[in-house]
Amino acid sequence: MTDSLVDSVVAKIHSAPHRLVFEFAGAGSLALAWLHSQGGSSRTVLEATDRYASLSTIEILGKAPDRFVAANTATAIANRAYQRGLRLGAGETPVIGIGCTATIATDYSKRGQHGCRIAVLDKVALTQYSTTFEKGARNRLDEEKLVSKIVLNGLAKACGIAPLLDLSLRQGEKLNMATVESTDPIEKLLSGNTEIIKVRPDGGMSEHHTLRGCAFLSGAFNPLHFGHTQLADAASQILRRNVLFDLSVQNADKGQISHSEICGLLSQFQWPHEVVLTRKPLFAQKALYFPDSVFVVGYDTALRILQKKYYGGDCTKVLDFLSSFRETGCRFLVAGRHWEGSYRTVRNLKVPEGFDELFEELPENMFREDTSSSLIREIIATPSVSEPRIGRV
């Protein structure tokens, strides 16, 4: 059962545009129940997970924490929750990630103190909440309610909502709160403060300076379609290495795409595919950040790579690019493509003498797909033709 003040705060949260990924361990389940107790929770909750088993918490962190109920543990969980929210939210609304770690009364006497450490993360700020309860002053349900109220207050504050729920802390108990600036990983990339963001299948993100010895399928992926995923799978088989989707946030022709556009594109990718985000739209630039790697391309892209008109009409610049590309240890795996009325492969390319080894053919029997993203966009954009009325020609 909820009370009127909880109902009021929850209603205001559901009216806000923010979307939530909530990860909690030890307590906090009532906060989720309160959010779901009213219609409209689907507008707020993207995902919530009860990390009750220690291994579940270790799984989201990627390692065993020094302490499970600690500010840095809650912050790390909130960070993963926020990153997950970026993918699930598809860039449509602001995202909030909450990590809650707690230890409360149970059916045996715990040696340590009872309390919670909670972190609330949005695009610009991280707010940490911590408190220690007077041991034995409350039963399990009352401690659960207190933890859940702190979670709900943290969410409401991040949504710009006031007033907040009264916690009715006992004398000697204190809720500590600290807020620091935080930078969204995608914003760091857009501002040039990091070079590469690797996005794992679960939405988790990590920053890198270089990635060596990988395979990449580069594109705008607007939209991602069956041909892309089939090409990645076929390339992975022949190369015997995982193929990552390479999305440049800096388009050579259209400039930089927005944060919301990036999140929308990321939302298309599902398990087991990984994505790398970079600011480098040109293969000459990519090769420096991805040495000893293979770039999977279609015939049309390989054709552009070799045409001098893309180098200011200077043939020597084509050769210079191929030479520098080879020095990085990189090469291309080329998939055939239906092009100008016929199916074209590597054998139809005019590769300058001495550079044939940079262009390997992906056999047609392993992959052929003539659908393109541009064709799909045209189909989507074309209005349906209504059926003719009876009696009309």
Q: Lowest-pLDDT range, 114-118, 247-251, 326-330?
A: 247-251
DSSP state of 116: E
Amino acid at residue number 271: W
pLDDT band at 108 (very low <50, low <70, confident <90, very high): confident
Q: At 264, which helix (H) or strand (E)?
A: helix 259-266
**What is the maximal distance between C-alpha atoms in the chain?**
86
Cβ atoms of residues 101 and 144 within 8 Å: no
- The pLDDT score that the predictor gives to residue 122 is 97
Q: What is the mean pLDDT of residues 313-317?
A: 95
pLDDT band at 390 (very low <50, low <70, confident <90, very high): very low
Which residues of the chain form CATH 3.40.50?
A: 186-379
* Dihedral sign of CA atoms 136, 141, 142, 144 in order: positive
How many whole angstroms separate alpha carbon 33 and alpha carbon 295?
48
Please tell me which residue, 121 or 111, carries the higher pLDDT value. 121
How many whole angstroms separate alpha carbon 393 and alpha carbon 389?
8
- The pLDDT score that the predictor gives to residue 103 is 97
- The pLDDT score that the predictor gives to residue 150 is 98
- The pLDDT score that the predictor gives to residue 107 is 87
- The pLDDT score that the predictor gives to residue 375 is 56
Q: What is the mean pLDDT of residues 166-192?
A: 96
Q: Which CATH class is domain 186-379?
A: alpha beta
Which residues of the chain form CATH 3.90.950.20?
A: 4-182
Q: What is the mean pLDDT of residues 376-392?
A: 47
pTM higher than 0.85: yes
How many whole angstroms separate alpha carbon 309 and alpha carbon 226?
31
* Closest-CA residue to 14 (of 93, 112, 108, 100): 93
- The pLDDT score that the predictor gives to residue 386 is 43
- The pLDDT score that the predictor gives to residue 373 is 55
pLDDT band at 378 (very low <50, low <70, confident <90, very high): low
The answer, yes or no, to whether residue 385 has pLDDT greater than 50, is no
Q: What is the mean pLDDT of residues 271-299?
A: 95
Mean per-residue pLDDT over the chain, rounded = 92
List, for residues 187-197, the tens digit of each pLDDT value.
999 999 999 99
Q: What is the mean pLDDT of residues 35-40?
A: 95
- The pLDDT score that the predictor gives to residue 251 is 78
The answer, yes or no, to whether residue 15 has pLDDT greater than 80, is yes
Q: Which CATH class is domain 4-182?
A: alpha beta
Amino acid at residue number 390: I
Strands (E), 175-330: 176-181, 196-199, 205-208, 215-218, 243-248, 250-251, 255-256, 275-278, 294-298
- The pLDDT score that the predictor gives to residue 252 is 67
Strands (E), 65-109: 95-103
- The pLDDT score that the predictor gives to residue 272 is 86
The answer, yes or no, to whether residue 307 has pLDDT greater than 90, is yes
DSSP state of 290: S
Amino acid at residue number 199: V
Q: What is the mean pLDDT of residues 263-292?
A: 94
Give percent above pLDDT 90 in the chain.
87
List, for residues 42-91, the tens digit of each pLDDT value.
999 999 999 999 999 999 999 999 999 999 999 999 999 999 999 999 99
List, for residues 118-168, the tens digit of each pLDDT value.
999 999 999 999 999 999 999 999 999 999 999 999 999 999 999 899 999
pLDDT band at 372 (very low <50, low <70, confident <90, very high): low
